[in-house]
Structure 1
Amino acid sequence: MPFTLATWNINSVRLRESLVARLMTEQSPDILCLQECKSPVENIAMAQFQDLGYRHMVARGQKGYNGVAILSKLPLMDAGSRDFANLGHARHVAARLENGVTIHNCYVPAGGDIPDRDLNEKFGQKLDFLTEMRDLFRWEKPARSILVGDLNIAPREDDVWGHKQLLKIVSHTPVEVDHLTQVMDAGDWADITRADIPTGLLYSWWSYRAKDWDAADKGRRLDHIWATSDIAKSAHSSRILRDVRGWEQPSDHVPVFATFDL
């Protein structure tokens, strides 16, 4: 059952409902995973999305903050959620397709501005969140699974506009990259995007602070698609829709795509 999956930090699904509908219409992924929905589940505009073929949804929501949703043309069932680091945040939800593939949709905390847990509580929460993800996958080994989302870490040197300049900037610090690597190793996850696009600068996020994000091009690859090793070779056709950053009233993130032949 081949299917195309996309992940996108939408930065308010209610504010950008029309952008979600546009992506569904123009790109038509079979499954669309959203993060930072900033909405209770019952307030997500499912009527419009259902009209576009997305009749299934598994989600966790909060008013004005966090929130993750999996919208699908394909039938799926709720496979639970985890409150990593006991933050009380809607940052993870899982769904299972009829072919047995489990999809984890994650929104890792950004971590604030100071990369020191003693000076910045949010940075410590981010590291604890990742540690608990690692422990989950270490003790409950995932199989036939896909993990997507805004992981808020750009791990490789070519995942950021300036490696040396960003080594002490939250999202690219060595301690964050190490924690993310431990999560990957614990679940035997493969980075599908980089398996398909192994070299070259690659970004999925550009700050709102830049006057001209396109010309400055100071991006980071914060959004990821992973798969467990038992299905990783079935993935192909990875792409990042850079042009979406230029849509009217855009999110600061853009969608990341991959297709799986399963």
Structure 2
Amino acid sequence: MPFTLATWNINSVRLREPIVLKLLQEEAPDVLCLQECKSPVDKIPLEGFAALGYTHMIARGQKGYNGVAILSKLPIKEVGSEDFAALGHARHIAGQLENGVTIHNFYVPAGGDLPDREVNEKFGQKLDYLTEMRDWFHGAAPEKAILVGDLNIAPREDDVWDHKKLLKIVSHTPIEVEHLAQVQDAGNWVDITRQDIPEGLLYSWWSYRAKDWVAADKGRRLDHVWATGDIANAGHGSRVLRDARGWEKPSDHAPVFASFDL
């Protein structure tokens, strides 16, 4: 069953419902994983999504913050969610398609501004969250699974606009990159985006602070699509829909796509 999947930090699904609908109409992925929905589940605007064929949804939500959802044309059943680091945040939801593929949708904490857990509690929470992700996947090795989401880390030198300048900036510090690598190793995860696009600068996030984000192009690849080793070879067609960063009232993230022949 071939299918195409997209992941997108939407930065408020209600505020940006028009561009979610635009994406669904123009790109028509079979599955769309959203992060930072900033909405209780019962307030997510399902009617417009369902009218376009996205009649299945699983989600975790909370008012004004965090939140993850999976919209799908394909039947999907919820198979769990985890509150890593006991933060009480809606940051993970997992669903299973009828072909047995499990999709994990994550919104990893951003980590605040200072990469020092002694003075920045949020940075410590981010590292603890990643550590518990690692331990969880060690304890229950995933099979036939895809992990997507805003992982809030750009791991490679060519995942950021300037590696040296960002080494002490949250999202690209060596300790974060190491923690993410441990999560990846624990689940035997393969970075599908970089499997398909192995070389070159690649970004999925551009700050709102840039007056002209296109000209500055100071991006980071914070959004990821991974798959377990047993199905990684089925992944292909990865791309970042950069144009979406320039849509009306945009998110600061662009959607990341991949297709799977399973």
TM-score (norm 2): 1.00
1:1-262 alignment, distance < 5 Å: 1-262=1-262
Provide structure 2 residue ranges, at least 5 long, that are not aligned to the other structure: none
CA–CA distance in structure 1, aligned partners of residues 65 and 237 of structure 2:
32
CA–CA distance in structure 2, aligned partners of residues 140 and 184 of structure 1:
13
CA–CA distance in structure 1, aligned partners of residues 52 and 87 of structure 2:
34
Offset at residue 78 of structure 1 (A): 0.5
1:68-109, Cα deviation, whole Å (9 max, x unpaired): 000000001001100000000000000000011000000000
1:181-220, Cα deviation, whole Å (9 max, x unpaired): 0000000000000000000000000000000000000000
Offset at residue 154 of structure 1 (A): 0.1
Secondary structure in 2 matching 1:158? helix
Letter in 1 for 2:221: R
Letter in 2 for 1:226: W
Offset at residue 250 of structure 1 (A): 0.2
Letter in 1 for 2:37: C
Offset at residue 178 of structure 1 (A): 0.1
Secondary structure in 1 matching 2:119? coil
CA–CA distance in structure 1, aligned partners of residues 166 and 86 of structure 2:
29
Query: Aligned pair count?
Result: 262
CA–CA distance in structure 1, aligned partners of residues 242 and 20 of structure 2:
15
Offset at residue 30 of structure 1 (A): 0.1
Provide structure 1 residue ranges, at least 5 long, that are not aligned to the other structure: none
CA–CA distance in structure 2, aligned partners of residues 216 and 103 of structure 1:
34
Over the matched positions of the two proteins, sequence identity in percent amounts to 76
1:83-137, Cα deviation, whole Å (9 max, x unpaired): 0000000000000000110000000000000000001000000000000000000
Letter in 2 for 1:179: H
Secondary structure in 1 matching 2:80? coil
CA–CA distance in structure 2, aligned partners of residues 41 and 22 of structure 1:
21
Letter in 2 for 1:6: A
Secondary structure in 1 matching 2:25? helix
The runs of at least 4 consecutive aligned structure 1 residues that moved more than 4 Å come to none
Letter in 1 for 2:30: D
CA–CA distance in structure 2, aligned partners of residues 65 and 79 of structure 1:
23
Offset at residue 157 of structure 1 (A): 0.1
Letter in 2 for 1:55: T
Secondary structure in 2 matching 1:79? strand
CA–CA distance in structure 1, aligned partners of residues 248 and 31 of structure 2:
23
CA–CA distance in structure 2, aligned partners of residues 224 and 53 of structure 1:
25
Letter in 2 for 1:213: W
